[in-house]
Chains A and B, each alone.
Chain A
Amino acid sequence: NAGVTQTPKFRILKIGQSMTLQCTQDMNHNYMYWYRQDPGMGLKLIYYSVGAGITDKGEVPNGYNVSRSTTEDFPLRLELAAPSQTSVYFCASSYGSPGNQPQHFGDGTRLSIL
């Protein structure tokens, strides 16, 4: 059972480039999330999804886009990379709503924008 799988693990982008961070889960969870983690700042929610075809903004959505065409996959898109998007990105999933169910995290994508 793989859980939540994120690819790539590391990536360096130039300013203005675009890329997609991939996330897939095999637990048949309805809820999926994208967080960014900056040093000393904890985890900030970027976008989340309560099921296939449904997405919503979190605390820091600017500069990102998501889609949820299947239950398993929840890719995060950066259209015009900026230095402020240098961070570690975590995808997570949960069986039920985050307010009462634990989240399962992937091992992250470390992204540098130069």
Chain B
Amino acid sequence: GENVEQHPSTLSVQEGDSAVIKCTYSDSASNYFPWYKQELGKGPQLIIDIRSNVGEKKDQRIAVTLNKTAKHFSLHITETQPEDSAVYFCAASNMDDKIIFGKGTRLHILP
């Protein structure tokens, strides 16, 4: 079945610097890749998603890139701010039309 690997598990960056979180997937039929942000005590919230017919998508300081050949996709956050501190999850669809989540990345923004 589909396997989604997410790295790193923890990431600390200086405020104002960029953060990159990477995910790989195994199912070549995957065509939908959402990213969720989970703040402390809250449920995950969608921040950006990308479909397989697009290589890159941007929304202000957040961007996602997709390399279907290599089966990996990445989340890029530029000009990081304290409110970016959270746990981030990548996910990928599988051939059964389900979503498989990565194990999460805890992002710390250092002052």
Contact = CB atoms under 8 A, between A and B. Distances in A.
Interface string B1-30: 000001001000000000000000000000
A99 B31 CA distance: 8
A99 B101 contact: no
How many chain B residues sit at the interface, stated as a range, is: 20 to 34
Q: Pick from B41, B97, B99 the residue with the most CB of A within 10 Å.
A: B99
A102 interface: yes
Interface of B: 6, 9, 31-32, 34, 36, 41-46, 49, 51, 89, 93-94, 96-99, 101-104
A15 to B, nearest CB: 26
Given A100-B31, A107-B41, 11 more contacts: A4-B43, A42-B104, A98-B97, A99-B31, A99-B98, A100-B32, A100-B51, A100-B97, A105-B43, A105-B45, A106-B43
Interface extent on A, as a size class? Answer: 10 to 19
Contacts of B49: 102
25 contacts: A41-B103, A42-B6, A42-B89, A42-B102, A43-B44, A43-B89, A45-B98, A90-B43, A90-B44, A97-B97, A99-B31, A99-B94, A99-B99, A100-B32, A100-B51, A102-B34, A102-B49, A103-B99, A104-B46, A105-B36, A105-B45, A107-B41, A107-B42, A108-B41, A108-B43
Contact of B101 (A40, A42, A102, A107): A42
A105 B44 contact: yes
A43 B93 contact: no
B93 A100 contact: yes
B43 A98 contact: no
B9 A98 contact: no
Q: Which of A43, A97, A100 is packed against the most chain B CB atoms within 10 Å?
A: A43
Nearest to A3: B43
> What 8 A-B pairs have minimum CB-CB distances, sorted nearest first?
A105-B43, A99-B97, A99-B93, A42-B103, A102-B46, A98-B99, A43-B101, A42-B101
